[in-house]
Amino acid sequence: MHYAVLSTGSCGNCYIFHEGNSAIIIDCGVTFTKLSRGLESHGIPIEDVKAMFLTHLHPDHSKGVGVFQRKTGIPVFLSDIALERNGIIIDKQRIERSLLVPYVFGNDIVVDAFSVHPFRTSHDSEGSAGYRIVSKDNISIFLMTDTGVIPDDAAALAENSDVKFIESNYDEDMLENGPYPAHLRKRISGIYGHLSNTEAVEFAKSVSRQGDSVYFVHISANCNSPSILRPFVMRSIPSGIFCRVCERGETFEGFRDAR
């Protein structure tokens, strides 16, 4: 499988997974121009894109959805709860309801070469989701961002995944001593907020085995720093597990073969 991250963090999130002539996108917190240029630069024809999946409807994950829908007509999947409870946001972001496809948690969605398993996350956006994706070639991906706590079913899903994208949003000390007012600090570290470096790294360590790839994503601009997270990851995660701390907004790609 070939995958590409076009951006991660509060400036915008967008992940692409590509195998054969089939691609799916998770989140569209980038402009259509950035998305189409990204697809082109990673050699992924837009005709290969069969579906988009949304984790939730915060603008850093969904601000580009409406334009993407109008330009491509490609279906966009989100949870039935997210669709039901976020009517005002859907209208405000000019998302096309006719191209939204709601799913029910617990049901897998098969799109071309991919089987997608959504799981619930804990965030201040109702119906928010993480995903485990398995491709036809049996490569499995785990993606969990924007969650205040690690969901009960996440460990079992992540353990069996070759490539993991895990939110590592804030450093506890930087959040405590940083520029945010108390209510915002409480929101970020609360059960409907984000994961800390400690939570992310401990989780990654507990679910990874030799040969896995782990990407630490959605790093806060104000309350985290790759220069703090990188040495922490190095100290904590055994060698033989590939780790990458993803800078805010950076673009990169990876390839994964079957074991």
Residue 167 binding Zn ion, by CB under 5 A? no
Under 8 Å between Cβ of 42 and 65: no
Residue 58 binding Zn ion, by CB under 5 A? yes
Contacts with 27 (C-beta within 8 Å, 6 or more apart), sequence order: 13, 14, 15, 52, 53, 54, 55, 61, 62
Under 8 Å between Cβ of 90 and 66: no
Residue 194 binding Zn ion, by CB under 5 A? no
Closest CA to 111 of 165, 51, 54: 51
Distance CA 5, CA 141 (A): 13
Smallest gap from Cβ 132 to Zn ion, in A, equals: 19
Distance CA 144, CA 165 (A): 6
Smallest gap from Cβ 212 to Zn ion, in A, equals: 24
Instruction: Give the interface segment with Zn ion, choosing from 56-64, 113-121, 183-191, 203-211 (CB under 5 A).
Output: 56-64
Instruction: Output 58 or 185, the one with its CB closest to Zn ion.
Output: 58
Instruction: Give the interface segment with Zn ion, choosing from 16-24, 59-67, 135-143, 247-255 (CB under 5 A).
Output: 59-67
Residue 18 binding Zn ion, by CB under 5 A? no
Residue 60 binding Zn ion, by CB under 5 A? yes
Residue 48 binding Zn ion, by CB under 5 A? no
In the Cβ-directed half-sphere of 59, how many Cα atoms lie within 13 Å? 7
Nearest residue relative to Zn ion (C-beta): 58
Q: Site for Zn ion (CB under 5 A): how many residues?
A: 3
Residue 146 binding Zn ion, by CB under 5 A? yes
For Cα atoms 150, 152, 156, give the angle at the middle one, nearest 5 degrees.
Answer: 100
Residues that bind Zn ion (CB under 5 A): 58, 60, 146
